[in-house]
Amino acid sequence: MTRAILLCAGYGTRLGSLTSDRPKPMLPVCDHAIVRYGVALLVGHGIRDIVVNTHHGADTLRDELGDGEALGARIHYSHEPEILGTGGAIKKALPLLDPDATDEPFVSMNGKLIFDLDLAAMLEAHRADPDVLGTLVVRRVPDALDWGPVDVVRDDAGRLRVRDILAGTGEHMFCGVHVTRPSVMARLPDGECCSLRQGYIPWLRGGAPVAAFEVPDRTYFAEHSTPSRYLESNVELVRGTRLRFPPGRLRGVDPSAHIDATAVIHQPVRVGPVAHIGEGAVVGPDAVIGAHAVVDAGATVVRSVVWSGARAFGELRDSIVTEDGVVRADD
């Protein structure tokens, strides 16, 4: 049985006040927490036993996901009083990822992603290549050096192999998803460590084989590390970018929302349950109004996100409105 870990224990420091009281995977995109996209992707591919590691904002993740039953999953939590990094998190969670000591491959996925990845194809490719320590999901990008380049080559048998990582060469980026075995991750050092820097990189340079799974250019990928990337993800999805396993409705006006007769809605928008759009307000295009949010009379909300329970007023463009204030997406 394939299991998975969603890595959710980062601080999200580049997002400033947006992550002051919640971890990055709890940011809402089209009124659904990012972590729900990862759970929906895994469950849609038949992976129901999911470990979520926590640190900053642990209670918010537990409140959002519970035991996973409502999402079709069985969710287990691995809390880190001190943050352990991607490698340390996985090593700590190995008893949950391999409770029967069968050494079955498992999927590791960064919890800040919305990624329309074909997990079935990735797992099939990994199982067809049993000699590798792991399979890294990569995509070809023009700015690989900015992301941390992955050098990918095709061997004599036509298989994609990782030749090096973060060495300054390569045209691919690592997408934050890999599949490996518990016995491989058990080799990592104890304590805080990175699965790439203290794992795959030294193993590769020692001659161990690591496979690459390249996703097509059209595959939707968003990682939400800055306010501008976060806003862009909301806009792309509300404009109709399709996901094979969305966590729920991503666009349109919920029937329970109250729209004043004098308000103007310019599609595309997402207006969540019990949201209130006031007299003479203008919402859209490219706007997301969260559940129970309020857009004041006369307000304009264009290419912006209003979080659940927040209040929008005045003229807002390229902004994120939280209960604590407004964050410009270009800040």
Q: Which position has the token pair 């109004």?
A: 289
User: What is the domain class of 3-222 according to CATH?
Assistant: alpha beta
Per-residue pLDDT tens for 217-262?
899 999 999 999 999 999 999 999 999 999 999 999 999 999 999 9
Per-residue pLDDT tens for 70-126?
999 999 999 999 999 999 999 999 999 999 999 999 999 999 999 999 999 999 999
Report which of 136, 148, 157, 128 is spatially closest to residue 203, judged by C-alpha positions. 136
For residue 331, what pLDDT is reported?
Answer: 64
The separation between the first and the last C-alpha atoms of the chain, rounded to the nearest angstrom, is 44
Cα dist from 147 to 114, 238, 280, 316, whole Å: 17, 26, 44, 31
Is it the case that residue 7 has pLDDT exceeding 80?
yes
List of E strands, 35-133: 49-54, 74-79, 106-110, 114-115
For residue 21, what pLDDT is reported?
Answer: 83
Give the torsion through C-alpha atoms of 195, 150, 237, 320, to 10 deg. Answer: 70
Q: Which residues contact 170 (CB under 8 A, 6 or more apart)?
A: 144, 149, 150, 151, 152, 163, 164
Sheet order of strands, 269-271 included: 252-253, 269-271, 287-289, 305-306, 319-322, 325-328
| Residue 35 dihedral angles phi and psi, to the nearest 5° | -60, -30
Per-residue pLDDT tens for 23-51?
999 999 999 999 999 999 999 999 999 99
Tell me what the mean pLDDT of segment 118-146 comes to: 95
Distance from C-alpha of 287 to C-alpha of 47, rounded to nearest angstrom: 33
Per-residue pLDDT tens for 144-201?
999 999 999 999 989 999 999 999 899 999 999 999 999 999 999 999 999 999 999 9
Of 1 and 32, the structure prediction assigns the larger pLDDT to: 32
Tell me what the mean pLDDT of segment 50-58 comes to: 95
Given pLDDT bands bounded at 50, 70 and 90, which one contains residue 13?
A: confident
How distant is the alpha carbon of residue 190 from its chain centre? 26
Q: pTM for this structure? A: 0.96
For residue 1, what pLDDT is reported?
Answer: 75
Helix axes 58-65, 34-44, angle to 10 degrees: 50
Of 21 and 152, the structure prediction assigns the larger pLDDT to: 152
* Lowest mean pLDDT segment, chosen from 11-20, 35-44, 287-296: 11-20
